[in-house]
């Protein structure tokens, strides 16, 4: 992926850009909003990572300008303020996702991958498949190896979220936000508790575990190679 | 010493105060008012006295005309001469001149008399001479008879002038008196006012210089001033409470940040020692990350709380209380089970929906906090019940456990930021959860109440329903 990182703090910029290069991405860096805007308008990127508070041109203005030019490059916004109102403002300005500082790099990477591979809604297949797991969101049915599995609507949504991002790491924060609308850190391990119940239904009694734990990051559903 | 300085400064200050200007203005208005009043009385009295004199003279003239017609000019003169020794007649001055030149006068000169009608002879001197010694201030009525005899009768108008003079003197002195009184009253009032304001100002000085618990004295000059002092005191109360809250928050942050920072430091030190062992290194890093997560969560909570407390009432969409309870139950059910406990829901009947208006995220977070509290503090194998019911114009969300509960005297305190009961210090938490719930309740125009679940803790979050407005 070719990514543009617009961030004025040099240490954060080096951290993000360096990490992305290590993960195999091509990275352009800009240290001010105006420089970032020039690059975003001229070059073609797969994703933008934009800090919200920038000298020259605030992140929100940058994204509005980019979107006004008809450029639909996925954009992840970084910020130190993470209240719901701020998120809403950022998303309304045209950002696709929002990450609050301080963040774990793995979280950034997971979200960036989710953005980059987000398929257009129209192209989503009716039936989702991971290995021998089949899932039909319209019919609300799941089966593994031809054996139907009974899931609560809650478990179904969790599984669907994972399956639609099969092969990608999904962080706990992403699950909390997407499934339960939590924009705060719960003190208890609610995600893990739900995953363990889903696992009991999906993986128990099968030789191959589909739902994997990615240490310190989150979970991923993956078909065996 | 500030008070000595103030005493010395009081006199010149008095002269430059608004109260002196007020006193002067009042005196002026009083003086002008008194002058106008006296002038009115003076004019009225004078008019009345003159009218009376004219009437008297007209009456006397009628008598004299009758005498002159009956006795003839000469006869009249003879009669007047006879009467002039009579004391009563000396009140009047007469002049009679017949056509054949006979004249009677007891002091009235021809040049002071018209041929016909009234004439008012004003004295040339500043004060009228004492009658009858000299030509006085006279009001004279004269009439020429058909036979040519001139009749004139005059009366001293001295009493009129004396009356006017008296009134003017009275007016002058009383006016001066009124002005002096008004001045004195104004200055006295000003002095009183300054003295009391001085007390207030000294109090304010002391409050500014750090004695934040001091309050302003009552002014004592009237209800309005006392109300002002009381209002200012209420403002000071609020400010002091805010300052106290700020202080405790700062102390709370300092304390609560030190603890995870200290642990983080320990982890990093351990990590340094364990550098050779990859497995232990990974564990150390994970633990350090957890500490950082806690610090971040603390700041997020603080930020959210201060936003909540400074924000406006949410104008959110209608929210189904039942749906909210069910979602919280679904989310936390597995966690409670994992902790060996049970979570029971008494969601309201779907046929009788309870709808509240507000911020769904905030209500969700508040309920989540309450359930997490019950998981963490509700004892081993927590038995948690989750309920929503309608009570008047309020939806009441109830989260109850069967744990150790909160003693009555602690129930108010646990709602404060960073307050943690001694018994719960060892458990995870920032001490902000309940403060946050209370702030959510407040912001929705509701309340958060803690009570005894016999045993355990029962927390009720009351939020107005959509029908409440």
Q: Which contacts (CB < 8 Å, 24+ apart) does range A203-206 have?
A: A206/A144, A206/A145
Contacts of residue B61, Cβ cutoff 8 Å, sequence gap at least 6: B141, B143, B151, B153
Return the sign of the alpha-carbon dihedral for residues B188, B193, B199, B205.
negative
Which residues of A are less than 8 Å from B335 in CB distance?
188-190, 193
Q: How confident is the model at residue A26 (pLDDT cuts 50, 70, 90)?
A: very high
Which residues of A are less than 8 Å from B323 in CB distance?
none
- The domain defined by A122-221 carries CATH number 1.10.10.10: yes
pLDDT digits 0-9 by tens, A33-70: 999 999 999 999 999 999 998 887 888 999 999 999 98
Is A83 in Cβ contact with B332 (below 8 Å)? no
Using N-to-C axis directions, what is the helix angle for A33-42 and A59-68, rounded to 10°?
A: 20
Interface predicted TM-score (ipTM):
0.79
Nearest to A188 among B300, B307, B375 (CB): B375
First to last CA, chain B: 58
Return the sign of the alpha-carbon dihedral for residues A143, A144, A150, A151.
negative
pLDDT digits 0-9 by tens, A65-113: 999 998 889 999 998 877 777 888 888 888 999 888 888 888 899 898 8
Nearest to A190 among B289, B293, B335 (CB): B335
Is B289 in Cβ contact with A183 (below 8 Å)? no
Residue B449's Cβ-side half-sphere holds a number of Cα atoms within 13 Å equal to: 11
The DSSP 8-state label assigned to residue B166 in this structure reads H
Q: Give residue A74's pLDDT.
A: 92
Is A187 in Cβ contact with B332 (below 8 Å)? no
Separation CA A166–CA A222 (nearest Å) = 6
Q: What stretch(es) of chain A map to CATH 3.40.50.2300?
A: 2-116
CA of B427: which chain A residue's CA is closest? Answer: A187
- The helix (H) or strand (E) run that includes residue B343 is strand B342-346
CA of A84: which chain B residue's CA is closest? Answer: B361
The pair phi, psi for residue B419, each rounded to 5°, is: -75, 130
Question: Is the minimum CB–CB distance between A197 and chain B shorter than 8 Å?
Answer: yes
Separation CA A222–CA A130 (nearest Å) = 7
Using N-to-C axis directions, what is the helix angle for B18-83 and B158-208, rounded to 10°?
A: 170
Separation CA B400–CA B457 (nearest Å) = 6
pLDDT of residue A153 exceeding 80: yes
CA of B373: which chain A residue's CA is closest? Answer: A187
Which residues of B are less than 8 Å from A199 in CB distance?
none
Q: Print burial letters for B373-401: b (CB count within 10 Å at least 16), e (below 16).
A: bbbbbbbeebbbbbbbbbeeebbbbbbbb
Nearest to A183 among B282, B332, B361 (CB): B361
Q: Give residue B87's pLDDT.
A: 63
Q: Which CATH topology does A2-116 take?
A: Rossmann fold (3.40.50)
Domains of chain B as residue ranges with CATH: 1-214 (no CATH), 223-308 (1.10.287.130), 311-468 (3.30.565.10)
Is B360 in Cβ contact with A181 (below 8 Å)? yes
Rounded to a whole number, what is the distance in Å from the CA of B325 to chain A's nearest CA? Answer: 13
CA of A190: which chain B residue's CA is closest? Answer: B335
Q: Is the peptide bond before B404 cis (omega within 30 degrees of 0)?
A: no
Instruction: Tell me which of B283, B312, B330, B331 to substitute to probe the interface with A (most A C-beta atoms closer than 10 Å).
Output: B331
Is A182 in Cβ contact with B368 (below 8 Å)? yes
Q: Give residue B127's pLDDT.
A: 39
pLDDT digits 0-9 by tens, B320-330: 888 888 889 98
Cα Rg of chain B, angstroms: 51
- The tens-digit pLDDT sequence of chain B (469 residues) is 444 444 445 555 656 666 677 778 877 887 788 778 877 887 887 788 788 888 988 998 998 888 888 888 888 888 888 887 776 666 788 888 888 888 888 877 787 788 888 887 765 444 344 434 344 567 888 888 888 888 888 887 666 667 777 777 887 887 788 888 888 887 787 777 777 778 888 888 888 888 878 888 877 767 888 888 888 889 888 888 888 878 877 887 787 778 778 888 888 888 888 778 888 888 888 888 888 888 888 888 888 788 777 766 666 778 888 888 888 998 999 999 998 999 998 766 666 788 898 888 889 989 999 999 999 888 888 999 998 888 888 999 999 999 888 888 888 888 887 777 777 666 667 778 888 899 899 888 899 999 998 888 999 999 988 864 4
Question: Is the minimum CB–CB distance between A190 and chain B shorter than 8 Å?
Answer: yes
Q: Give residue A158's pLDDT.
A: 93
Instruction: Tell me which of B291, B329, B361 to substitute to probe the interface with A (most A C-beta atoms closer than 10 Å).
Output: B361
């Amino acid at each position: 992926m070719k990514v543009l990182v617009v961030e004025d703090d040099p240490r954060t910029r080096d951290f993000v850009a360096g990490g992305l290069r290590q993960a195999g991405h091509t990275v352009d860096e800009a240290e001010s909003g105006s420089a970032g805007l020039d690059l975003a308008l001229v070059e073609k990127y797969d994703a933008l990572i934009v800090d919200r508070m920038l000298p020259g041109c605030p992140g929100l203005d940058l994204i509005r300008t980019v979107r006004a030019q008809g450029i639909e490059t996925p954009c992840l916004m970084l910020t130190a303020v993470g209240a719901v109102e701020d998120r809403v403002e950022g998303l309304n300005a045209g950002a696709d996702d929002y990450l609050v500082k301080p963040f774990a790099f793995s979280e950034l990477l997971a979200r960036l991958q989710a953005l980059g591979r987000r398929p257009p809604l129209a192209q989503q297949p009716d039936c989702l498949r991971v290995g021998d797991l089949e899932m039909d969101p319209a019919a609300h049915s799941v089966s593994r190896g031809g054996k139907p599995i009974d899931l609560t609507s809650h478990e179904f949504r969790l599984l669907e979220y994972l399956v639609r991002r099969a092969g990608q790491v999904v962080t706990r924060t992403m699950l909390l936000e997407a499934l339960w609308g939590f924009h705060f850190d719960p003190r208890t391990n609610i995600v893990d508790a739900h995953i363990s119940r889903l696992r009991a239904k999906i993986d128990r009694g099968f030789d191959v575990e589909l739902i994997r734990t990615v240490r310190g990051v989150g979970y991923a559903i993956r078909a065996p190679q | 010493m500030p008070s000595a300085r103030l005493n010395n400064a009081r006199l010149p200050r008095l002269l430059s105060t608004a109260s002196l200007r007020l006193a002067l203005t009042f005196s002026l208005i009083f003086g002008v008012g008194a002058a106008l009043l006296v002038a009115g009385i003076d004019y009225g009295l004078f008019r009345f006295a003159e009218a009376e004199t004219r009437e008297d003279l007209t009456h006397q003239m009628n008598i004299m005309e009758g005498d002159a017609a009956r006795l003839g000019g000469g006869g009249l003169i003879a009669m007047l001469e006879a009467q002039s020794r009579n004391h009563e007649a000396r009140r009047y001055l007469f002049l009679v001149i017949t056509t054949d030149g006979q004249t009677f006068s007891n002091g009235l000169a021809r040049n002071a008399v018209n041929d016909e009608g009234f004439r008012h002879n004003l004295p040339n001197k500043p004060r009228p001479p004492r009658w009858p010694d000299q030509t006085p201030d006279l009001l004279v009525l004269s009439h020429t008879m058909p036979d040519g005899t001139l009749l004139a009768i005059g009366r001293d108008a001295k009493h009129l002038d004396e009356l006017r003079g008296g009134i003017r003197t009275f007016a002058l002195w009383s006016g001066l008196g009124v002005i002096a009184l008004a001045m004195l009253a104004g200055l006295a009032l000003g002095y009183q006012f300054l003295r009391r304001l001085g007390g207030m100002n000294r109090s304010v000085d002391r409050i500014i210089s750090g004695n934040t618990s001091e309050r302003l004295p009552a002014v004592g000059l009237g209800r309005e001033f006392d109300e002002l002092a009381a209002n200012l005191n209420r403002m000071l109360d609020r400010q002091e409470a805010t300052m106290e809250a700020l202080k405790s928050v700062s102390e709370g942050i300092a304390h609560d940040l030190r603890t995870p920072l200290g642990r983080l430091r320990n982890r990093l030190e351990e990590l340094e020692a364990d550098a050779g062992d990859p497995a232990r290194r990974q564990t150390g890093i994970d633990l350090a990350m957890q500490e950082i997560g806690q610090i971040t969560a603390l700041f997020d909570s603080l930020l959210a709380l201060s936003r909540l407390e400074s924000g406006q009432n949410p104008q959110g969409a209608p929210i189904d209380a039942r749906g909210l309870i069910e979602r919280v139950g679904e989310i936390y059910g597995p966690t409670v089970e994992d902790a060996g406990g049970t979570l029971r829901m008494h969601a309201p009947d779907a046929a009788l929906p309870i709808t509240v208006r507000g911020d769904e995220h905030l209500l969700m977070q508040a309920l989540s906090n309450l359930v997490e509290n019950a998981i963490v503090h509700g004892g081993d194998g927590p038995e948690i019940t989750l309920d929503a019911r309608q009570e008047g114009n309020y939806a009441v969300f109830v989260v109850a456990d069967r744990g150790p509960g909160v003693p009555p005297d602690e129930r108010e305190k646990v709602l404060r930021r960073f307050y943690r009961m001694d018994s719960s210090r060892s458990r995870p938490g920032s001490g902000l959860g309940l403060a946050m719930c209370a702030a959510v309740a407040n912001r929705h125009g509701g309340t958060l109440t803690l009570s005894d679940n016999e045993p355990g803790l029962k927390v009720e979050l009351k939020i107005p329903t959509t029908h409440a407005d």
